Structure formats: structure tokens, C-alpha cells
Structure 1
């Protein structure tokens, strides 16, 4: 459906709103909170680097990869924050094939044309305990750059548990893609950040298989998957000059996308009552669908 700007403004004005962190407001649409800024820190940056390298491995190698000069978010642009935000009708032919884009939209909110097409979706999620901590650190870096007052972990945790975060509730967003991956494994690949940390090479091979570009026997012998994993390691990406300076978007410094990247860092920030609260939510909202996460 095509909307005129006036109709869009009227629709947005009619939606329930809540005060947002670092944004004028969050709007409730189809049971999800839509922000001006995305829900971060589930492994998106790392996944973008890996997928870009996998599908372009015959064009680039570690010595000439565009990752050396561009942040992963520039190479795999967001549909809602980059592509369509700057142009209502972008010319997709301007992008070389295979075309790779990203989005934070819930599966239920994706255009029907995308769901019906041959487009494949690779989704990555992070255990909620680490996600809430990582997103708090991410927002702290933003408020420091914007000279705004910081919000405590307790405040951030409360809104996270209420589901009032960008594209939240987090569990509804995650379960939506999880269920689709079970029903349509050829269409949606569901990855967990924890599995990437445990065996990134195995996950690289899984992604390559999923997109129809499996590693050949020759590539296996040459260790191409291992090479991609090393080139895209968080350590390597974090040390690149492009990711130490500059901004991906006006409020988002490139360096803010790279912190520890550890699983289990939540033990240093969440109190026992906070952990118990979030585990109850995970048990109620995720476990019934068979979705479990390693948390340490």
C-alpha cells in the first residue's frame, strides 16, 4: 500500500506513544514499539561483516576487502534507516548483486512482497541478559556524545522488561523470526550470537550453505572459511581505524558498535533480583516455543 506523506503523518499522530531514550518517542504499531533509533547489540554488526565477506569472497580477500575502509553498516545498509529514509523510491539496480540489506523490523511487519519473494532472511539474536547490558552501554556512549544525562541500568532494565524499547518487545521480535525459521528453514536462518562465539567457522559455513554459496573442496583445503572468520573477528574490526573514528549516522559513532563482545558479561551488572526477573520473562515468553539461550 502506498501512503502520501499527509496520511503517514496522520497515522503516526494517532499511534500510542511512550517517552523514548535518545528519541522524541516510541510509537506502538502492530504491537511493536517503533523508534527513531534501532534496538542494538544483538550481533548485527558482526553478522553484516560475515555475510558481506561470504557472498563477496570471490571479489575480495583480506587485503582488499571494503571492510578495511567502511563500517559494516555502510556495506549492508538498513532499509528503514538508510535506504528508504533517504529516498522513498531508491533504485535497487544501483546495488551490485547479490544485494544485501538489513532491517530491524519484526517479521510480521515485513512487506508481503518480501515474504512472497525468493529473498532470504538471516536473523541473529543474543541472550536477553547480555542484550540489556550491551544496549545500556551502547546508549551510554550516545548520551555522552550528545551531552545528555545518563540513564541508570535500573531504569534501562525496567523499560527493557516492559518491552518499551526500539522494535520491542525483544522476546516477541525474536520469537517471530524463530517461528518462521522453524516453519520455513529455506527462507529464514536463525543464528544465535552465543553460537558464533563458540564456533564462528561452523556458523560461517552454515550461512554459506543457506545462501546457496557453499565452500568448495578447494576452499575447504585453503581454509577460506577460517580466513573470513579471522578477517571479521570483533578484535580485527575493532582495531580498524574506520571503526575507531567517524559516524555511521549522525548520532552513532562507529566505535560505539564495538565493546567487549563477550557472553556472560551480564554477571558484572545485573543484580540477582534483576536476573530472576528477566529469566522469568524468558521462561514465559520464549521457552514455550522451544527457544533457549546460553547465558554464560
Structure 2
């Protein structure tokens, strides 16, 4: 990897833009070496790179939610790209009809550029003015429920949360991490066995995953008008049905006429893995943070963990799933 590519690939792993306030805080926080070759710091019970921790802190201080906001929440590698594409197309279906005459934003823009990533934006551009976004404002984040800005919790904004079978999420993040990791981080230094062990202990980016999922799971049961909870597996199995439910939740349900006209299926088809992954914009080039666009389109499968995890590693994660989710009523299909 050349030094020039290194400087962009690690936009959220470096420390070039850290404030003295963040540096002072970090010096007092628990620290761990992460999979990606950068240090992670524990804040409010979750692990973050120093850059994204600063983004989180700035977000907590400055972000003011509006009642009309829509915030998509995931843990890393849990269907974020797909969810962004679906909800963007859903909410903007009258402004950007599907199918279109080749001018739909998804045809020439990576989904990650259509919805700002809150802590990423606040790290790179702390003064960013979110009031300029079209209403309803669409945003996404990996922030845990307990760490959300107070205005998000107190307003009537809507949260759509998507999680994924932890084994698939781990494997997807493991492969994704290889495209981001620092040059000096090798499989010998941080083999997959060590990564699984850290993952099960909750020491992964935005982890513990278990707490992240359960906080939103319980929030959705306590206030289903505020938080919509769905698994990647449900979305994969019945994308049209789930999209319809999301539309109702957001107050922009499909009319009978739209359903008859096949508008639901048209959005699902436009946003499918096959469709998005074959677009030139998602096969070439990089995002501003340096990540290759194609890195977000590896397989998009369920159960793909079997190609990477040994039986013993899968069993280790399964034991953790059983322990952490026991009694919650939440189940994951394998």
C-alpha cells in the first residue's frame, strides 16, 4: 500500500484532527488494540477509534434533532449500505420516481454519500450545518442508544435500527477490516481466533455488539412508534413486506394504487445487492474517507459465515449469543 493511499484509507483510524479536549479524555479511558491496527477506547460502555470517538462527542454536544428527522442506526457491517439505499428511495420516491429515466441518484451515487454518517461528519467537519439538509433529514449512525444526543431521545424523530446475525456481522467486518487495516497489522499479529475472542468479549468497534442490539431491541418494544427494529435476515427474506412496514412507521405508507403498480418491488429491485453492486459508481473509485466503493459490496448473503469460521469459532460465538440474548425474546436465524 502506498503512503498516499494509506493517508486516506485510514480517515477514521488516525488522529490528525483530534482536539486537545479529546486527547485529554482519551488519556483517561480504557484502551485496547483493535483489529484494524489502531487503538480503541471505551466510552460510555462502548469501544471506538479515537477519531470516531471525537465525532461522537461533537455529535452529542452539537446535534439538534428535529421531529421530522429519520435516523438509521446499525452496528458496522449489518446492512447499512442496503438500508440507506432502501430508505432514501422510499422517502424520495415522488421526487425521484423508480424506475426513472436514468437520473435516480442511486444510479450514480454511492448510498453512503446520500445520507451523512453523523459521527464521521462531525469528526471531519465539526461545524457542519445539518439544518441545510432536505426535510425529512435522513442520517445514519453507529452510536449506541445510551450515547445518542439527548435531542434524539427527547424529540419525535424516527429511528430505524437494523442488526444482523452476529456471526455474519463478524465475518463481514473481518473481511471489511482487511481493506482498512494499517499495513503493519497482519493475520499473524491479529489472527481470526484472536479477533473472535475479542468480539465475544465485546471489544470490537462500536461493541459490545450484544449491548448495542439489545438497547435498541428494548427501546423498540418500549416505544414502537419511536424505534423500528428489524434484522438483516428478515429484510433479506421479505424485503417488500419489511419495506412496507418501514414506510408505515415513517408515515409515508404505500397507497393501494402504488402497490398495484408494483412500486414496492421497483424500489426493492433498484436497491438489491445485484443491482447496486453492478453499478459503475459502486465498482470503481473511493469515498472521501478513502474506503474503496466496492468494499461495501462483498456478498450480501445470509449464512455466509460458514465460508470463514471454523466449527469451533462459530460455536464460540453461538455460546456468547445464547448467553447474551437469553430471556430477551430476540432470536437470530442462522
Partner of 1:43: 79
Question: What is the alpha-carbon root mean square deviation over aligned residues?
Answer: 1.9
Once the two structures are overlaid, the 10-residue window that deviates more, 268-277 or 123-132, is 268-277
Partner of 1:274: 313
Superposed CA deviations along residues 134-165 of structure 1, whole A, max 9, x for unmatched, are 11111123349x58534432232222112111
Taking the aligned partners of 2:292 and 2:185, their CA distance within structure 1 comes to 15
Q: Is the 8 A contact 1:39 1:165 kept in 2?
A: no
Aligned to 1:189, what secondary structure does the other structure show?
strand
For 1:31, which of 13, 24, 45 is the aligned residue? Answer: 45
Q: Is the 8 A contact 1:177 1:190 kept in 2?
A: yes
CA gap 1:129/1:213 in 2 versus in 1, 3 angstroms: same
Superposed CA deviations along residues 206-257 of structure 1, whole A, max 9, x for unmatched, are 1101100000111111110110000000110000111111222434111000
Q: Where in structure 2 are the equivalents of 1:55-204 lying within 5 Å?
A: 55-61=91-97, 62-63=99-100, 64-82=103-121, 84-143=122-181, 149-150=186-187, 151-204=190-243
Give 1:261 deviation, angstroms: 1.0
Partner of 2:55: none
Q: What's the TM-score, normalizing by structure 1?
A: 0.92
Partner of 2:60: none
Aligned to 1:177, what secondary structure does the other structure show?
helix
Give 1:124 deviation, angstroms: 0.4
Once the two structures are overlaid, the 10-residue window that deviates more, 213-222 or 27-36, is 27-36
Structure 1: give runs of 5+ residues left out of the alignment: none
Aligned to 1:174, what secondary structure does the other structure show?
helix
Aligned to 1:213, what secondary structure does the other structure show?
coil
Partner of 1:19: 33
Partner of 2:259: 220
For 1:207, which of 232, 236, 246 is the aligned residue? Answer: 246
Q: Is the 8 A contact 1:15 1:27 kept in 2?
A: yes
Q: Is the 8 A contact 2:198 2:204 kept in 1?
A: yes
Partner of 1:8: 22
Structure 1 residue runs of 4+, over 6 Å off?
none
Equivalent pairs counted in the alignment come to 290
Taking the aligned partners of 1:30 and 1:115, their CA distance within structure 2 comes to 16
Once the two structures are overlaid, the 10-residue window that deviates more, 113-122 or 275-284, is 275-284
Q: Is the 8 A contact 2:84 2:111 kept in 1?
A: yes
For 1:260, which of 288, 299, 310 is the aligned residue? Answer: 299
